[in-house]
A and B are shown apart, each in its own frame.
Chain A
Amino acid sequence: MYRYDHFDQQLVNERVAQFRDQTRRFLAGELTEDAFRPLRLQNGLYIQKHAPMLRIAIPYGMLASRQLRKLAEIARRYDRGYGHFTTRQNLQLNWPRLEDVPDILADLATVEMHAIQTSGNDVRNITSDHFAGVAADEVADPRPWCELIRQWATFHPEFAYLPRKFKIAVTGASSDRTAVWIHDIGLVLVRSASGQIGCRVIVGGGLGRTPIIGRVVREFLPRAEILNYLEAILRTYNRFGRRDNKWKARIKILVKERGPEQFARDIEAEWSTLEGGAATVPDEEFDRLAAFFAPPPYVGGAADKAALNAAIADNRAFGSWVRRNVHGHRVPGYAIVTLSLKRAGVPPGDVTADEMDAIAELADRYSFGEVSVSHEQNLILRDVREADLFELWTRLKALRLATPNIGLLTDIVCCPGGDFCSLANARSIPIAEAITRRFEDIDYVHDVGDLDINMSGCMNACGHHHIGGIGILGVDKGGDEYYQVSIGGSQGNDAALGRVIGPSFAARDLPDVVECLVETYVAHRHADERFVDTVRRIGLEPFKERVYAAAH
């Protein structure tokens, strides 16, 4: 993975010193709360319900084991011994003290980490495919692109005070695992007819109050032009994005108000003045960055498939874990393993410091010392030998990290919600817990098959509820927590927004509602038909009838 050189390290160190001084001035009363707020947000620091919240950047979801150990140490020393992985592949600490944050950032800097631009109206952490570099369906590895864009976005002097936050995702695979269609900019790496690598550029997607699927503004952009083109988009947005209304300030609104065709022309006109300019990326720079992501020293030779198949046949629990949590690797004899952070009794995405240490050790032993974070809030060991799968499973099971539910309905994506977040209308963690408890019969959950449940505690949609097969949104009804339910959303290549089924529900009704929806699907589905496909085929009515009949 990427390693800092002296230049990278110096910039991060200078940022720590800058924020230490800003915090000192704030605490001394030299900086007002209004002046300090944007500064702390650009360092990932929120003031939340109970305490500050610090969001630590995990660039494109890649973590080295030594970084994970440092996160564990920080969680123990400055927080309450756990952290929360987010849908932006970041890690949040819920209980740090404001006074400690400069020290936390200094500790992070010792392992080439930071919290730069994890909040604020700036370019946020670049997200990518958690299977990058090992997926069998990859056109090109997106990580060199991500690192290039990370560097470009870091302390970009022109784009630190945008109208609103700005999120970029990059995927290099034919099957989208990054939700590119719901980002301010989504980049899909493609190869031109002549074999040149470049990208398709999608702009103006997003969730929140106005959910919109992005639009393609350019089918093929040569890779050398990527920074010039991003600069053109960001400059257009910075100049013309709305600043009069926070809820209309994202780029999606500008794209919508100008019309996607006109907006694409505006960007192209801006780009024409930048094309071939100083920020044009030479091949040598792509090569230099790509070298950081060279394949690890895989042990050659195909694994003994017969032994693996025998173990699967022999042990049902192991078999269902392999079926759901193990994915095909591009190198024969290797597999991609997902550790489920969705387990009863633990908020989705939460990991304790002891678990972080244990996972770091497993990464060292089984996966070249690297871990990646998915936007579904799970962790991935990307390079596991098939021959080690059974042993690894045994160890994960002991850690309660082997729930065989990846992509199933208990793999719930969920924001921190009203328990922690001051923006939330309603709690989300207890709802995830109640649904998980309702579906403890793992055989039934496996029979139901692929089904994403996404939950957000408010309109800001951190839990991506619009793209859940079942989406749950916390709403406020006269001071009470209610939940609006939508179905038929999906991420990936056929990204679609779910549709609301009707009036909202009280918290206690949600397990029943989800159960009714699932039963309706099971009753109507064709063989091998996914939940979302059944919804698309038969529409909302059968689901509504069942749910609202049961509610009366």
Chain B
Amino acid sequence: MPQLISLGARAADRYALLRVVASLADLPAAQPVIVPVALWTAWRAALVARGDVGVWLAPADDPAALVEDLALVPLIAIDFPQFTDGRGYSHARLLRGRLGYLGELRAIGDIQRDQLYYLAQCGFDAFSIPDAMDAEAALKAFGDFSDGYQATERRLPWFRRRDVPAAAVVPPR
């Protein structure tokens, strides 16, 4: 069972991540679930009626598939089959920055501590980390860098802030 870091702290995970689901009948009763986007697309109305359903995206999936449903989905998980496959970083930025998704955005798969800072900057606010990982050490990794140059989902570019008093900086979500 992986551990969950959510909103900067260890958290209990209510959701069951379902990697493979053949049909609606396979869903466990009375348990919040995260289902593949294909299942969501096929059974959208039934899943909305069931409630407590999150959706996960693979690297090759298009986040735009969820554009009409963002208000209905409390959680979107983005899968990193290997941490070196960086497509999920762009998915997160599209969901947050472009499509304005406000729910939980969770990184799942091969999530290691050395990627946590970048993932957070791209808009992830929840991280499913391996059971064996030292969660306290992982939490420190969010502070690997105190700031950065670029515009991200959590800050304006430095050149727009350098002459502005700190209080005027747009706070992270």
Contacts and interface: CB of A to CB of B under 8 A. Distances in A.
- Binding between chains A and B: yes
Interface of A: 7, 10-11, 14-15, 18, 22, 35, 38-39, 121, 151-152, 154-162, 227, 235, 238-239, 243, 273, 277-279, 281-282, 285, 288
Most chain B beta-carbon neighbours within 10 Å: one of A239, A273, A285: A239
Contacts of A162: 86
Given A157-B122, A158-B118, 9 more contacts: A7-B158, A14-B144, A152-B150, A154-B148, A155-B118, A161-B84, A161-B115, A281-B159, A282-B159
Interface string B79-121: 0000111110111010000100000000000001011011101
A156 B118 CA distance: 8
B109 to A, nearest CB: 13
B140 to A, nearest CB: 9
12 contacts: A7-B162, A38-B83, A152-B149, A155-B145, A155-B148, A155-B150, A157-B89, A158-B86, A158-B93, A161-B115, A235-B93, A278-B156
Going nearest first, the 5 A-B pairs with the smallest beta carbon separation are: A161-B86, A157-B121, A157-B118, A278-B151, A151-B149
A278 B156 CA distance: 6
B151 A279 contact: yes
B151 to A, nearest CB: 4
A227 B59 CA distance: 25
Given A38-B84, A243-B85, A285-B159, A160 B118 contact: yes
Nearest to B160: A278
Contact of A238 (B90, B118, B119, B148): B90
B23 interface: no
A277 B97 CA distance: 11
Contact of B146 (A14, A121, A285): A14
A227 B85 CA distance: 23
B99 to A, nearest CB: 10
A14 B144 CA distance: 7
B3 interface: no
Nearest to A289: B159
Contacts of A151: 149, 158
A172 B95 CA distance: 37
Given A39-B114, A273-B98, A278-B160, A161 B147 contact: no
Given A158-B89, A161-B83, A18 B144 contact: yes
B2 interface: no
Given A7-B158, A7-B162, A157 B98 contact: no
Interface in B29-76: 59
B152 interface: yes
Contacts of B160: 278, 282
B157 interface: yes
Given A157-B152, A278-B151, A279-B151, A14 B86 contact: no
Contacts of B84: 38, 121, 161
Contacts of B91: 239
A159 B147 contact: no
A277 B160 CA distance: 12
Given A121-B84, A157-B118, A243-B85, A279 B150 contact: yes
Contacts of A273: 98
Contacts of B93: 158, 235
A14 B89 contact: no
Nearest to A18: B144
Contacts of B152: 157-158
Contacts of B158: 7, 151
A157 B114 contact: no
A293 B118 CA distance: 32
Contact of B122 (A7, A158, A239): A158
A7 B158 CA distance: 9
A159 B86 contact: yes
Contacts of A161: 83-86, 89, 115
A157 B117 contact: yes
B42 to A, nearest CB: 24
A160 B114 CA distance: 12
Nearest to A234: B90
Contacts of A278: 151, 156-157, 160
Nearest to A240: B87
Nearest to A35: B112
Most chain A beta-carbon neighbours within 10 Å: one of B86, B122, B145: B86
A155 B122 CA distance: 12
B114 A14 contact: no
A155 B149 contact: yes
Nearest to B80: A161
Contacts of A18: 144-145
B89 to A, nearest CB: 5
Nearest to A11: B145
Contacts of A288: 159
A7 B162 CA distance: 9
B90 to A, nearest CB: 5
A121 B90 CA distance: 15
Contacts of B121: 157
Nearest to A288: B159
A11 B151 contact: no
A11 B85 contact: no
A157 B96 CA distance: 14
Interface in B110-148: 112, 114-115, 117-119, 121-122, 144-148
A278 B169 CA distance: 13
A239 B114 contact: no
A240 B145 CA distance: 29
A161 B88 CA distance: 10
Contacts of A38: 83-84
Nearest to A156: B150
A18 B146 CA distance: 12
Contact of B86 (A155, A238, A277, A279): A238
Contacts of B83: 35, 38, 161
Contacts of B144: 14, 18
Contacts of B149: 11, 151-152, 154-155
A235 B90 contact: yes
Nearest to B92: A158
Given A238-B86, A238-B90, A285-B159, A11 B148 contact: yes
